Amino acid sequence: MTDATLADLRSRFAGRLLSAPEDTAPFLTDWRRSWTGRALAVAQPDTTADVAAVVRWCAARQVPLVPQGGNTGMVGGAIPDDGGRALVLSTARLNRIREIDPINNTLTAEAGCILATVQQAAQEAGRLYPLSLGAEGSCTIGGNLASNAGGVQVLRYGNTRELCLGLEVVTPDGEIWDGLRGLRKDNTGYDLKQLFIGAEGTLGVITAATLKLFPRPAARMTALAAVSDPHAALRLLELAQRRLAATLTAFELMSGVCVALVARHFPDCRAPFERTHPWYVLLESSDPHSEARATQAFSELMEEAFEAGIVADAAIAASLAQSDGLWRIRHHLPEAQSLEGDNLKHDISVPISAIGEFIEHTSAAIVAANPGARVLAFGHLGDGNLHYNVSAPYGVPQPAFVRANGAAISALVYEAVHRVRGSISAEHGIGQLKVDKNAHYKAGVEMALMQKIKQALDPHGLMNPGRLLPGASHRAH
């Protein structure tokens, strides 16, 4: 790419165009340093019209385009390949909150808005934007939408897909689709926004969205319950859903191994029980009425669960500090794993009814084939979503263990997921990490339907090529 070409691009849009290696570097490696790519430049357009101008420039020259939000993805979906032909389109400067309508319970934000900024804006309007996940301080709304982000409150409020009422998108030929509607009911054709949500930038660039807001709960209550196994955790889930219905906002499973690992690296993060237990459940309720009513509902639930022999012990947080203490166990889990050395990660989902047997059989098979291997199972039980990770036996270095056994263990996990009609990517997406595995496990009819849609909307395969779908990258080269 010549300087003249870049100068031509620079003249087409308002915003920044980064091309010096020290400027583009942060956009070419993901935050976990798993992938590094090359690009001819990084464009940061100021407005939706500027995004459209950049996309048209790319389309006219057959330049592949890689949209990028906060660069906090887990699957390399926003990092270009190493061909150096692609333009990275960063949404960083599309960072305005365009409108808040508290009566309609909607907020319209541009794609580059940080999730925490949107949460804050909703709060200042007396409302709740419930999407909540580890990266919320740096991930963007556009990235949340492109990857259909999940997080800890999906049980009550749904994935990002369910939180979006309208979209603004720049199509692969550089047109602007203004679908920013704030309607709960609209049956006037194909629900196009659903196609762009979760498409990981392969069908167009999301530039803004109208999001659902909710009333803020009057009280939040947290409890930790000790159970003997995942089957008991499922019985507790059934009871909690019956008794608390939609006030149950989180239901997180953690194995005793996980909780012990956190305690080892963060000595003040411990389960408040006299003895250790094989499994734990972290529950959260959000009550619209009062703290008193929330406490009563939790107390009655735990009493009933105890009498039915479902829980072995339980602690209900009596203060915000106690509640934070319980959540810290869950939130420190990723870091505790990092401190042990990066293990083998699987972000999977299975039907909730299949979780008990899935964990039992799969863990047994892994340990049988890899004596001493430690399965770290935790996740959003209420959504059927497990983070099912495998660590090396004590004393064995993680990298060597993963190199030697990772492929076989992952194959075992994904085969087990496939048998119960589960998903090999529950909330992280496909990106470049799982593109081959996904093509392997998905039925041919479904892959063909996806390819037809990709072909119809992006016939030259320029939008984030080689991500989500195989082959597009080769077509573009």
Name which of residues 179 to 218 contact its own copies (CB under 8 A): 179-192, 194-195, 197-199, 203, 214-215, 217
Element (H, E) at 285: strand 279-287
Pairwise CA distance, residues 137 & 111, whole Å: 15
**Residue 324 vs residues 84, 240, 330: alpha-carbon distances, Å:** 46, 21, 10
Q: How far is the CB of 241 from its own copies (least distance, A)?
A: 5
Contact between 223 and its own copies per CB under 8 A: no
The residue (of 14 and 245) whose beta carbon lies closer to its own copies is 245
Rounded to a whole number of angstroms, the minimum distance from the CB of residue 273 to its own copies is 27
Neighbours of 184 (CB within 10 A): 10
Cα gap 167→85, rounded to integer Å:
29
Applying CB under 8 A, does 104 fall inside the site for its own copies?
yes
Q: What span, in angstroms and rounded, lies between the C-alpha atoms of 318 and 113?
A: 35
Site for its own copies in 293-312 (CB under 8 A): 297
> What whole-number distance in Å separates Cα of residue 475 and Cα of residue 477?
6
Q: Which of 119, 144, 247, 370 binds its own copies (CB under 8 A)?
A: 247
Instruction: Give the range of 64-72, 257-265, 274-282, 446-454 binding its own copies by CB under 8 A.
Output: 446-454
**429 is a site residue for its own copies (CB under 8 A):** yes
Site membership for its own copies, residue 150 (CB under 8 A): yes
Site size for its own copies, by CB under 8 A? 93
Residue 202 CB, shortest distance to its own copies, in Å, is 9
- Answer for which of 26, 134, 137, 351 binds its own copies (CB under 8 A) is 351
Q: Is 289 in the site for its own copies (CB under 8 A)?
A: yes
Please name which of 88, 93, 97 lies closest in space to residue 48, comparing C-alpha atoms. 93
- Residue of the chain from 308, 400, 404, 449 that contacts its own copies (CB under 8 A): 449
Residue 430 interacting with its own copies (CB under 8 A): yes
Cβ 320 to its own copies shortest distance, Å: 20
Question: What would you measure as the largest C-alpha separation in the chain, in angstroms?
Answer: 76
Closer residue to its own copies, CB minimum distance, 85 or 161:
161
Q: Where does this chain touch its own copies (CB under 8 A) — which range of 30-38, 137-145, 317-325, 429-437?
A: 429-437
The Cα–Cα gap between 140 and 92 comes to 9
Hey, CA dihedral for 351, 356, 361, 366, is it positive or negative?
A: positive
Nearest residue (CB) to its own copies, 101 versus 313 = 101
C-beta of 64 vs 130, nearer to its own copies: 130
How far is 371 from 229, CA to CA, in rounded Å?
21
Residue 297 beta carbon to its own copies: minimum distance, rounded to whole angstroms: 7
Which residue number, 309 or 351, has a Cβ lying nearer to its own copies? Answer: 351
| 92 or 244: CB nearest its own copies | 244
Residue 249, H or E segment: strand 248-255
Out of 44, 68, 71, 106, which residue is the one contacting its own copies (CB under 8 A)? 106
Site for its own copies in 356-385 (CB under 8 A): 380, 382-385
By beta-carbon proximity to its own copies, the closer residue of 321 and 443 is 443
**Which span sits near its own copies by CB under 8 A: 13-21, 62-70, 96-104, 222-230?**
96-104
* Pairing assessment for the beta strands 279-287 and 219-227 based on DSSP bridges: antiparallel
Integer Cα distance of 446 and 444 in angstroms: 5
Which residue has 């593109």 as its token pair?
435
Distance between CA atoms of 445 and 461, rounded to whole angstroms? 20
Residue 254 dihedral angles phi and psi, to the nearest 5°:
-140, 135
**298 Cβ partners below 8 Å, 6+ apart?**
221, 223, 283, 285, 316
- From the list 29-37, 136-144, 150-158, 407-415, the region that binds its own copies by CB under 8 A is 150-158
Tell me the two tokens of residue 60. Answer: 């006219």
CB of 189 to its own copies, least distance (A): 5
Residue 172 binding its own copies, by CB under 8 A = no
Strands 87-90 and 41-45: parallel
Q: Is 6 helix (H, G, I), strand (E, B) or coil?
A: helix
